[in-house]
Each structure stands twice: as C-alpha cells, then as structure tokens.
Structure 1
Amino acid sequence: MAGSLSQSLAQAIASQPIWLLPVLSLLSIALVKHTQRRRALKGLRLPPGPKPLPIIGNALDVPTEMMGQRFREMTEKYGDVVYLDALGQPMIILGSHEAANELLEKRSANYSDRVPSVMRLISGWEWTFVLMPYGQEWRRRRKEMHQFIHPNAVAQYQPLQQRETVKFLNRLLNQPEDFLHHVRHSFASTIMRVSYGIEVSEKNDPYVTAVEEGVATFNEAFVPGAFLVETFPSLRHIPSWFPGGGFKRIAAEWKKIAHNMRDAPFEKTLEAMRKGTAEPSVAMTLMENASGKEGAEYEEEKIIARDVSALVYAAGADTTISTVQTFFLAMACFPEVQKKAREELDAVVGPNRLPTFEDRDSLPYITAVAKEALRWQSVVPLGVPHRSLSDDEYKGYFIPAGSVVIANLWAFSRNEKMYPDPESFKPERFLKDGKINPEVQDPNTFVFGYGRRICPGRHFAEASLFLMVASILHAFTIEPAVDEKGNTIKPEAKMTYGVISYPVPFPCSIKPRSPAAASLIVQALKESV
C-alpha cells in the first residue's frame, strides 16, 4: 500500500501547474510589500536569513529533503530564529528549544493556529485534530479528548496495556521476523479497545488495515512543499482533468481511505450499542452522553463523538509505534545497553514474572532507555508547523502575523551541549547517581510539541513505551541479523521521510533470553485470558 501511495504522490507532484508560477508570483510580490510596510511601521527588522531572490523570495532555499539537517545549517549560520519568504509566505525557523519554548509555549495564545491547508479539506482529513485551525471546533474536541487521556485517566488503561503487551511478546516469540508489524498491531489493538471497544483479529483485521492505510495517506498528503495548491489555494478550483489538476485525483482517492479509517470502527460501535453488546469505550461514552439530545444538536454531538474516537488513536499510538520500532534498531546496534538493562531488570523484577507499571520507579535505567529512544531518532522531525495569529516581536525581530513557524525538533535532539555524541544511543546521559538527572533536558519536553498544540496522548504514549521497553528487554535478546554466509548485517540508522518518520525496514535476530523466559511469556498469556 505504501509503495503505491508513494508512486501516486510522485505522479501528483509531477503534475503540479508550474506554468502558473509567473502569474501567481505577482501575488507574492504584493504580500511581501505588505509585510515590509507593517514591519517599517513597527520599527523592527525581520530575523536574519538567506538573501531572497526577486519574485520567488526564498522558495529555492526551502529544502525538500533532510529538512531537519538543512534547517539546522541555516540556524548555525544565521541564529536561532531564521526568516524565509517562500513566494510571499513568511516562514520562521526556530533552531533551539529555548526559542520554541518562548514563542510556542509561553506565547501559545498567538501561536496555536495551523497553516490553512487545502489538502486537509480535499483529501479527507478535515476532521483531524492536529491540522484543525485554532478555534471553537478545535477547543471542543480537545476538551472531549482530555477526559479520556489526562494523566489520571490514563491509569485506568494499565491492565489493558499489560494484557496487550503480553500478547505482543507471544507474537514476537512465535514470529520474531515480523517484529515491525507486531509493534503496529499491538498498539492498534490497544487503541481500538480504548476508542471503540473492538477486539481486533490476530491477522488481516480490517480495522487495523484501515488505520494503517489512513496513516500512510496522512504521512504523504502533508509533506511540506509536495503540493503547490498549499501555497496557492486558488488552484483548488481547477478541474481534476485540467493540466496541473492531478493533485485532485489523488486527493479523491485519499479521501476514501481517510474517511474509512474514521467511520468504519465508529459504525461498528454504534451497531454494537444497538444490539446491546458494546464494550466500554470512548465512542460508547460520548454517544451515551449525546443520547438525551435531539435533531441537529444530536447530529453535532455524533460528529464530535466520531471524530474524537478516531483522534484518540492518533494521540496515543502514532509516534509510539515509530519509537518502539526505533528501539529495536537501537538494541541491534548497541548491545551494551541490553546488558545494563537486564542487570537492572534481573535485580528488580527477577526471573519469575514480567515487569509491570508498579516497577517503574525502581527501573531508572529502563526509563532512561525509553527517553533515549524518543531522542535518538526524531519521530516528527519538524513537529507540525504552527501559525502566528498576530504580529509579534522576539529579541528585536519582527514576526509577521500569518507566519509559518517551524520548530526544528530534529535539531533540538542533536544539541551537542545537552546531548554529547548525539548519534550514539546512550541512556546513561539521563542518569546521575542511579537516578534520572533533572539537569539533562527530558526529550518529552519537545518531542510531543509545544503549548496548546502539545500532543494530548503523550501520557498514554509514555506509559506504553516504558512497558514495552521493559518487557522486551526482560524476555528477549536482540542482535544484528546474519546473512547466509554467517556475516553480521549491521542495521543502518535511517528513517523514512514524511510528517511522521519510521525506521527504514531492517532485519535483526530476536530470541528469548532463555527457555525460562519463553515459558514465562506462555504462562503470562494463559493468565491474561
């Protein structure tokens, strides 16, 4: 599926109406002059950045690949706040956590909007919380989500997370070569129970497939710079058959996939509610709350219930799936980490049971491994761009209203002053005297975003990550794979390119630590049924 989507994306990009650029550039000139007048009135200068070209500004300076690296090179040259003018669209690149925290966190009232997106509307993602403009619809969905995934609420899901982790370990025991798929299936299974009360099938589950296809389309639809219509929204009015209208054809296909991901499991829950067989879930709770309403008010509540139920999946699983897959990659590359982790696990947990959430405070090294997994390879390298609502000033620089504001999370994770030797996987960097060192910046402070747009599912994600890391290391040994001649195949730490990055598929050898560890998994599975 991902391969066909990539091919479709390439075709769509190739069909962009480049011939319209000379006409549309006139609009960019007008926008630039308007911004310059506002700046002059305020007596401020724009942040430094590459020198713009006539008409197109810095359009050629905006990277189309390795964006985190390229943007970091700009901030190393110009400073923590860089200005780009991309065809009249002001862009602010934030190269440090300090700058991002000051603007996106402390001034979140001005930086909580999202960039208007035509692709969001025409490719089926008009309902998604992460891209929704800041306003009443967004606030209402945020409020409804909060009741299910705030820190105290997340604790109620621990028994479910524990059971699903045991099932995951059993799949890993029987089919270790499919570990990347097992990670995705495990989180899909957990969140489907939380969101819809649906028990998914072990193989070829239609709801798991719907989610995987939906996430794949999202990841391709919103690659920065992929679609010219995002820069010039008026292009959405050209017919799909017209030269340059290829983006509309691919968007129509993506819309079916995105809506199926949102609608299919929700309809399943509604059907179960009508039959009286529904299990407790986010969807069931919200629909029960709406039961006393009628007419248009009921339909509105139903739409909110449908959207929020689907959004809980993305909030609790997407980034964690990538991080756990990255953890396997790290363990295959850095075997010394496994040795230290097992020493702690053997001392605290012992050989007769699997780790639980109750062990968390007694496993600082495992906690450090989870933090390093979040830091080592950026899951969302540039976050999701914010948008300024009003003109602002920062350190004497003018930040125009309507600026696209990008926090370079990839660069934050590679701050050598905070994280020496950043390409190495070193959980020890977070420890001091056997405890988590508060003087080292916790990656959780930036990997989940900032301000009012911070990922609402971060508490669920952190809990899931800890339990998976502890359980896998307690039961299995992860090593590089070997080829048919017995030569070691060392995995390459390489990530895919998209809004969400995943490890490029890699082989590794996954075996139970001992026959006793394998028996422990089998016994835990029997007890969890």
Structure 2
Amino acid sequence: MSANTSSSFTRAIMSQPVWLLPVLSLLLVTFVKYTQGRRSLKGLRLPPGPKPLPIIGNALDVPTTDMGAKFREMTQKHGDIVYLDALGQPMIILGSHEAANELLEKRSANYSDRISSVMRLISGWEWTFVLMPYGQAWRQRRKEMHQFMHPNTVAQYQPLQQREAVKFLHRLLAQPEAFLHHVRHSFGSTIMRVSYGIEVAEENDPYVAAVEEGVATFNEAFVPGAFLVETFPSLRHIPSWFPGGGFKRTAAKWKEIAHNMRDAPFKKTLEAIKKGTAEPSIASTLMEFAERKEGEEYEHGKIIARDVSALAYAAGADTTISTVQTFFMAMACYPEVQLKARAELDAVVGPNRLPNFDDRDSLPYLTAVAKECLRWQSVVPLGIPHRSLADDEYKGYFIPAGSAVIANLWAFSRDPRMYPDPERFNPERFLKDGKINPAVQDPNTFVFGYGRRICPGRHFAEASLFIMIASVLHTLAIDQAVDEHGNTIQPVAKMTYGVIQYPAPFPCTIKPRSAAAASLISQGMKEAI
C-alpha cells in the first residue's frame, strides 16, 4: 500500500461514525484469531484451557475479581500452563513457579516485553519503565536504576534506613492508631531522601502527598479489564463527551497527577542544584552526568534523570509499604509469633540498644518472619503481565508471539507442596534446626517478578522491611484491639483490590514493651536528629 493510499484509508476510517471503530476492531481481532489459530497447527497444539465461544473466544472466562484464585482453579483443572483467547488477544496463565521460572527467567529475552496499553499513554504513565515496551528506552532507564539499587550500593543507605526506623517508632508511640499512615510516611521519607535529597515534613508534606496520589492512580488505571479501551484501542479516538468516553476525562485528571508526582520533587532538586545546596541523591547524580553533555544529549539526560528518580519510589514502595502493613496485621492475628521474635531479639540484641543491620545474620527467626510477610499476603498477586516477542514452545505446547503471559504469584505463594496450610502465618516453615531452610522456596524468588523485569528496588525493599520489623518487635507490643465492652476484636486478614494490594484497615493496639523500651526509642530519636 502506497503512502498516499494509506493516508486516504486513514482519513476514510476517521471520517466514519465513532461506533464503527469498535466494529472494525472486532473484525480485525477475529481475523487475527483465525490466523493465529492456523499458525498454532504447525505441529504443536495450543495449551489447554476453557472452551472458547465464537468470535469473543474466552473473554467471559477472564475473571474481573479474585483473579488469583480463579486463575488457580483453571490451572488446577487444565495444568500449569493455560491458554485463553480474549477477543483475539492470546493469554498464557502460568500456574506454578517452575513454569514461570522457565519462561520468564530462563527465556527472558523472549518474555521481557509488555502488552501495549492505551491507558499508559493517556493517563500520564508513559514515562515509567515498569510498563514500557522492551527496547532502548527501557534498557537505558533500567541500567541507570541498577547502579543505585544493586546490593553493594544499597548498603550505603542503611544509616538513613536505620534513622527513619527510629523516627517510625517515635511516631507509633505518639499516634499508634495511625500506624498504617506512619508506614507510608516512613518509607516516603526514606525514598525521598534517596531519590531527591529532600527532607520531608513530619506532616502534610506536599512531595510525599504527590507520590501517594500518583501511586493511587496507577493502582486504579491498570486493573485488568477496568477499561474497555485496553481491549479496543480504537476507542481512544472517541470524544470525551461521547457516551462511553468517560475514561478519557478520568485519564486526563490522572495524567496531571502522575506528571506532578514525576515533576514536582525533581524540580525542587534542580533548584537546589542551581543554588549549590543539593544533597547527594539519584536525581543530583544523574543530573551531574547530564550536565557534562550539550544540546539534545543534555535534554535527553535530564529526562532520564527525571524518570529514574521518580521510578525509584515505585521500585520498592509497592512491596515495602504493603508488606510492613501486613506485618502489623500478622502480629495482631498471631501473638505467639511476636513472643518468639522478641525472645530472639532479646538474646541477640539485648536490652540496651536498638537492632541494626549487623544483627541480620544472627536473627534467623526474624528473617523468617520477613519472608512469611512477603508470602502470606500477595502485594502484586498477578505481577505485571509479560508479552512474548516470538513464537515459542513449552512442554510440547505452542505459545504464539504477542501472548500476554501472566504469572499467578498469588497461587505460587499458596502452593501446598511447598507451603502446607498456606493461609496460616507460620515463619517456622522457613526454618530447620534454627537456620533458614534452603529446601523451602524463598518467596523473594517470585514476589519481585522474574527475569529482566524483576523489581530493581528489591534489595532496598528487603533492607527496609528488615530494619522496620526488627525495630518494632524489639520495642513495641502489637495486640488485638478491644471494643467498648472489653471484648477482643479479631482482625480479619483481608486485602484491598487493585494492581497493588494493601491490607484493608484493621484495629490493633500498639504500646511500648516496657519503660526501658520506650527509653531506647527516646534515646534513638536524640541520636537521629
């Protein structure tokens, strides 16, 4: 087709009534489905799965709630790899860590792409490499992020993480009922210093608020099935005032929020650099590199610095904030775990100081508590879907190029072969003879994702998780709340729904273990200021 013909065709399509676009899309996906079906017959079968309906395929089989549990039912019925055809989009559901590790880890060159997303482009998240297609832009941002988040570099952040943990304890003593908020503020304060060199305010900090608001829009924007435009991209062209165009108005509001999250703290760092008052940070370091260049190279380096600095928060925030909140829920539900952890901390750390990172290797039970927090309640139950770049074969089955590949992390965390009685919070499942048992699957191998798409902030997140729960257990007691009649309120282990899940609000009481423990917090605060 010539350029003139192509242009004429495009104008002809766009001049048609808006309702025609979804119809044409449906015809197109029907054709794609037909051609993919023919390709899959070249000596290999597609993986098993629910029987598709004409035209719409398995669109009605794709769950919109409790996706982890419902996808697990499919894999229990059909096997570790299940095929769905949702309106022409091939989907591969992986029901075991072994299958996910084979495809997404060992064959990561073929499974590191992302599904094209209209919402990414129109809701302000075009800059985040979490959703970027696999390519040069993604690789460059990933490379820059890695230099700040690999294990050797993360160690330099330990004094900051230790200081913020003490401030976290102080906030819990002052306002124990606001513990869920304190978790968010503590991590926000830590990562804001790492990313931008910004010291945040104790209350109502605008930069922490901007990040929180931005992450909230991300959590809504990318829930699978939430927006029809992700299935029918041509709907992007309908006016916002047209029936069904409400998503465009919503996306416009979210775009402003997402860009403010990205731009506001970066702008403050640029102002500090100009004044010569900037603290060492990811943003200031990357801008130092950018300023060695000129023209377009400088502008490109500035954009990289802006994007990577903003991404640092998301790289660890989703897992850390949710998992620390889950820790409080677990302690309220399982008081016997607190007793064992305290006994270990008392023996290793003693009564005269707070825990530090040097204690980590001597605290196997506490390490097991952290692992169980990661396993017990899935933060990102389905991860972010990968996309296959080329046709592939697995266990004799054909996996078409362009398939959305979903690793059911929620199901992996509940595999009874590895985790008997999976709904119970039981750190001892990771221990043998008083040491971490290497024969038990470490949840760190799947909760942070796979292959080249693994969370780059995982080492920072693990360190933050350790020091926060060690500090809390050494100094504070978390108990179940009581009602006005003195009856104990049993917490319910329930998570919110979204791409990122958090514990639903629950009551508990938080008090110092003793007067000596409260004094440790006070002394720690004096040293932290």
Q: How many percent identity over aligned positions?
A: 82
Partner amino acid for 2:424?
A: S
Partners of 1:294 and 1:323 in 2: CA distance: 43
Partners of 1:311 and 1:24 in 2: CA distance: 34
Residue 27 (structure 2) aligns with? 26
Partners of 1:442 and 1:277 in 2: CA distance: 43
CA shift, 1:242, in A, is 1.5
In the alignment, does 2:351 pair up with 1:351? yes
Residue 52 (structure 2) aligns with? 52
Residue 324 (structure 1) aligns with? 324
The ranges of structure 1 where at least 4 consecutive aligned residues each deviate by more than 3 angstroms after the TM superposition are 17-24
Rate the CA distance shift 1:457–1:482 in 2: closer, same or farther, 3 A. Answer: same
SS in 2 for 1:130: coil
Partners of 1:393 and 1:318 in 2: CA distance: 33
Partners of 1:290 and 1:89 in 2: CA distance: 41
- Superposition pairs of residues 1-400 of structure 1, within 5 angstroms: 24-40=25-41, 42-400=42-400
Q: 2:263·2:306 contact (CA, 8 Å) conserved in 1?
A: yes
Partners of 1:504 and 1:20 in 2: CA distance: 40
Across the two proteins, how many residue pairs are aligned to each other?
512
CA shift, 1:370, in A, is 0.1
Residue 7 (structure 1) aligns with? none
TM-score scaled by structure 1?
0.96
Rate the CA distance shift 1:64–1:20 in 2: closer, same or farther, 3 A. Answer: farther
Partners of 2:239 and 2:317 in 1: CA distance: 37
SS in 1 for 2:82: strand
CA shift, 1:74, in A, is 0.2
Partners of 1:48 and 1:176 in 2: CA distance: 51
Of 30-39 and 91-100, more deviation after overlay is shown by: 30-39
Partners of 2:97 and 2:148 in 1: CA distance: 29
Partner amino acid for 1:439?
A: A
Gapped regions of structure 2 (runs ≥ 5): 1-17
Residue 452 (structure 2) aligns with? 452
Partners of 1:148 and 1:36 in 2: CA distance: 45
Residue 481 (structure 2) aligns with? 481
Partner amino acid for 2:321?
A: I
1:409-431 Cα offsets, whole Å, 9 max, x none, are: 00000000100000000000000
SS in 2 for 1:156: helix
1:87-142 Cα offsets, whole Å, 9 max, x none, are: 00000000000000000000000000000000000000000110010000000001
- Superposition pairs of residues 450-529 of structure 1, within 5 angstroms: 450-529=450-529
Partner amino acid for 1:32?
A: K
Rate the CA distance shift 1:287–1:146 in 2: closer, same or farther, 3 A. Answer: same
SS in 2 for 1:482: coil
1:193-212 Cα offsets, whole Å, 9 max, x none, are: 00000000000000010011
1:137-161 Cα offsets, whole Å, 9 max, x none, are: 0000011011101000000000000
Residue 4 (structure 1) aligns with? none
Partners of 2:346 and 2:482 in 1: CA distance: 28
Partner amino acid for 2:357?
A: F
Partner amino acid for 1:292?
A: R
Residue 427 (structure 2) aligns with? 427
Q: 2:22·2:235 contact (CA, 8 Å) conserved in 1?
A: no
1:160-181 Cα offsets, whole Å, 9 max, x none, are: 0000000000000110000000
Partners of 2:147 and 2:46 in 1: CA distance: 41
Partners of 1:243 and 1:524 in 2: CA distance: 58
SS in 2 for 1:259: helix
SS in 2 for 1:91: strand
Q: 1:28·1:56 contact (CA, 8 Å) conserved in 2?
A: no
RMSD: 1.1
CA shift, 1:227, in A, is 0.7
CA shift, 1:304, in A, is 0.3
Q: 1:290·1:302 contact (CA, 8 Å) conserved in 2?
A: yes
TM-score scaled by structure 2?
0.96
